[in-house]
Chain A
Amino acid sequence: MSQVLTQKYVVGADDFAAAGAASAAVKKTLKQLNFPVDFIRRASIAMYEGEINMVIHGGGGVASVEIYEDCVKIILTDKGPGIPDIEQAMQEGYSTATDSIRELGFGAGMGLPNIKKQSDDFEITSEVDKGTTLIITINSNS
């Protein structure tokens, strides 16, 4: 499993216009590296959901993406309010999104379940008032 490259992006808080820029850039890179389309789609969806959560809920953060020959590891770290009950947050339909966020089309409570669904390995750690970290791994041969 030799590493091809690492990319790092700063994701701003509450910047909905730019939200998804990091995911879009990673998608372009994976395309240029000729990964299978299904793999690229899974990585894009998982990273976008995580990136949007950092923008909406996490007060912004950092996305670090490690691209290997046969997988991609996406690490999303924020220093936001944290998640008090991860099990509850992981449930389909659970959302604390405000009405103004819902008007933008977010808040279905499907983001974290989607990340789990698209990934081969998904670790989420969070501490209230400290922040949240997601480590998402997607294999290109699964």
Chain B
Amino acid sequence: MTVTQLAEKLELKKLSNGEDKEVNSCYISDLLSRVLGGCSPNDVWITVQTSLNMVAVAVMADISFVILPEDVTAPVNVILKANDEGLPVYSSSKSAYELALLIGDLL
């Protein structure tokens, strides 16, 4: 399944545009080095981390896209950076747990 297909099924709100990559699995953590060491390429990453470093980590680790749960918002400069890097960032009113359950069913 691709980013846009999954985003539509999960009824996510789009914050930034990016590449419509394949999504293989899901990783959840807010500790950046945990993510760099633990995620897999083409994961969707669920995090409340909304700094510029979040974008950098997602790009370095070949994350397909980012979901900010529980209506977490990202600062404008972070959204602009995500657009620049071609990283799709979305938000959701659901919790990380609810999202993971749905993603588990869909992938």
- Chain A residues with a Cβ under 8 A of chain B: 16-17, 19-20, 23-24, 27, 37-38, 41, 44-45, 48-49, 52, 104-111, 113-114, 117
Q: Decide if A24 touches B59 in the complex (CB within 8 Å).
A: yes
- Return chain A residues, CB-CB under 8 Å to B36: 45, 48-49, 110-111, 114
Q: How near does chain B come to A127, taking the closest CB pair, in angstroms? A: 24
Q: Which of B30, B59, B60, B85 has the most CB of A within 10 A?
A: B60
- Return chain B residues, CB-CB under 8 Å to A37: 41, 62
Which residue of chain A has its CB nearest to the CB of B30? A105
Complex formed: what's the CA distance from A19 to B53 in Å? 7
User: Does any Cβ of A come within 8 Å of B12's Cβ?
Assistant: no
Q: Decide if A106 touches B33 in the complex (CB within 8 Å).
A: yes
Complex formed: what's the CA distance from A46 to B106 in Å? 32
- Chain B residues with a Cβ under 8 A of chain A: 30-34, 36-37, 41, 49, 51-54, 56-57, 59-62, 77, 85
- Return chain A residues, CB-CB under 8 Å to B56: 19-20, 23-24, 48
| With A41-B62, A110-B31: A48-B57 Cβ-Cβ less than 8 Å | yes
Q: How near does chain B come to A99, taking the closest CB pair, in angstroms? A: 14
Q: Decide if B33 touches A114 in the complex (CB within 8 Å).
A: yes
- Return chain A residues, CB-CB under 8 Å to B52: 16-17, 19
Contact of B37 among A16, A104, A114 (CB under 8 A): A114
Contact of B60 among A17, A20, A104, A109 (CB under 8 A): A20
Which residue of chain B has its CB nearest to the CB of A106? B32
- Return chain A residues, CB-CB under 8 Å to B34: 108, 110
Q: How near does chain A come to B40, taking the closest CB pair, in angstroms? A: 10
Q: How near does chain A come to B45, taking the closest CB pair, in angstroms? A: 12
| With A16-B51, A104-B53, A105-B30: A113-B59 Cβ-Cβ less than 8 Å | no
